[in-house]
Structure 1
Amino acid sequence: MDVVQPWATGFNRPKPLPTQMSIQRSQSSPLSREEQLEARRLAEESNFSYAGYQVVRREFVSHRFDPAMTVRVGSITFNNACIKALENATYVQFLINPTEKKLIVRPCEIGARDAIRWCVVKGADRKSRQITCKPFAERLFSMMDWDAEFRYRFQGMRIRYYQDEMYLFDLSADERFAPMKKDENGKRIVTAPVLPEHWNGSYGMSVEEHDMSTKVDFLDGFLTASEVTEEESDPVPEEIE
């Protein structure tokens, strides 16, 4: 006796798969433009992977108003965009990882150990200031083998570590600027930054490397600025507003 399948009677008939629907649809009439675009989108979506993709470096596009830090041989300055992003932070601590070449700027309370005032407060406004730190800056220049004639700018990345908001700066991702020069009329000559040579041949990090670059473990090699400069015998100059 032949067994009659339930769907053969017209009840509980299984729905055709999308591919079957496409075949049936194409056999009856051509796909519309919208249907073709949707089919392409679904195909790209089903086959997508981050493998082979690079995250384009922010330094390759206009970033004039993005949070940034500038290091000179005797001072460090954070722009107003950087200061405004960390609301209510007047004092910070510098933490540096000499192995990974990363610097963390972490907000702290006034009077905390190794607290550094990083901005000028005028009423409700907080503005950028130059932080004189020759012993610390000289150690950075020595560690990174920088040219003392240049100034170095770094793009800040705001991250969260548990409940703390802070900035992460990759010291190997620098933009180097030549000393300022003026033309015969006394106007400043604007020069393009010199980017690291190891960036040649790529657009940026792979997606996996990019994700890993934002991870911070304070138990793994980070030191405060005072620990970096505690052996420095020269007196620290007064800070300049």
Structure 2
Amino acid sequence: MNEPEYRNAVQPSMILANAEMSETEDIEVDDSFFDDEIDVVRAEYASDSNEPTISFNNCQLYVNMVCIKKFPETDYVQFLINKTKKQLALLPCRGDERDAFLWRTINSKSGKRQPKYITAQIFSAMLFDYMGWDIHCRYRLIGKIKISRGIKLLVFELGSYRVFTKGSAAGSDTERSQGYFPDDWKGRFGLPYKEHDRIMEITTFKNYATISITDNNNTAPEDTTGEKVTDYENEITNPEN
């Protein structure tokens, strides 16, 4: 996106803001603001309560309700791993397709959809080893919807995550969290605004490998994470439908 295009994109909101200003306000015109040093702050640096997330803990993986609402008609998904880009993608699929797994269930009491805890010891071990993660910690990744070859999928950056660790005090169950991001993010708040739209290129399936997860239990396994699946609804203040 070049400078004129960026200005055209923000012009409607600027016009609205100017219309609400008093005629007596002193407004300074500064065309030099849009220079090469402007960064668009990454959404990953803010709260992820309204973002689709996936978590890994105790050989289990689970998504939040935002993910489920992104694909309201989807019961099954496949895992795709791009080892080159270090990305994990969830691809909606049919239940009879190979390597499909059930990612949501129906709450027996409320009748509402809810995420399903998936026990995947081998996959978790492979992923934690590949990423150099600590098996005693919980990891949460933020996802983004992308379109590839006309197919919508949910993509997570494996190098951008929040890790939760137990408190250092003896016997403490309190979790502490810290964010980790790719090395090339250091020193900038986000992408330069001129590159912001250009970076959002269509993701292809090249270099993706399908991960097979065997789970013979179609019901939610016992939760050993200390979290309740239904608590995810409390995290959502303005979910996208």
TM-score normalized with structure 2 length? 0.68
Aligned-partner Cα distance in 2 for 1:91–1:152: 22
Cα 1:213–1:98, aligned 2, differ >3 Å: closer, same or farther?
farther
Task: Indicate yes or no: 2:144 matched with 1:157.
Answer: yes
Residue ranges of structure 1 left out of the alignment (5+ in a row): 1-31, 230-235
After superposition, give the CA deviation of every residue in 1:37-86 in whole Å (9 maximum; x if it has no partner).
Answer: 3x71xx52xx6656322232223222223211101251211011111111
Task: Indicate yes or no: 2:42 matched with 1:57.
Answer: yes
Aligned-partner Cα distance in 2 for 1:85–1:182: 39
Cα 1:129–1:204, aligned 2, differ >3 Å: closer, same or farther?
same
5 Å-filtered alignment, 1:35-46, equals: 37=27, 40=29, 44=31
Cα 1:197–1:114, aligned 2, differ >3 Å: closer, same or farther?
closer
2:239 is aligned to none
After superposition, give the CA deviation of every residue in 1:168-205 in whole Å (9 maximum; x if it has no partner).
Answer: 10000011110378998x8x535233434835533233
SS of aligned partner of 2:177: coil
| Larger RCO (CA within 8 A; separation ≥ 6) | 2
Aligned-partner Cα distance in 1 for 2:196–2:122: 32
RMSD: 3.0
Q: Which of structures 1 and 2 has the bigger CA Rg?
A: 1
- Given residue 138 of structure 2, which amino acid in structure 1 is its aligned partner? R
Task: Indicate yes or no: 2:99 matched with 1:114.
Answer: yes
Cα 1:59–1:180, aligned 2, differ >3 Å: closer, same or farther?
farther
Aligned-partner Cα distance in 1 for 2:197–2:159: 14
Aligned-partner Cα distance in 1 for 2:157–2:35: 23
Q: Please point out which of 141, 161, 171 is paired with 2:158.
A: 171
2:191 is aligned to 205
What percentage of aligned pairs have identical amino acids? Answer: 26
TM-score normalized with structure 1 length? 0.68
1:85 is aligned to 70
Aligned length: 193
1:126 is aligned to 113
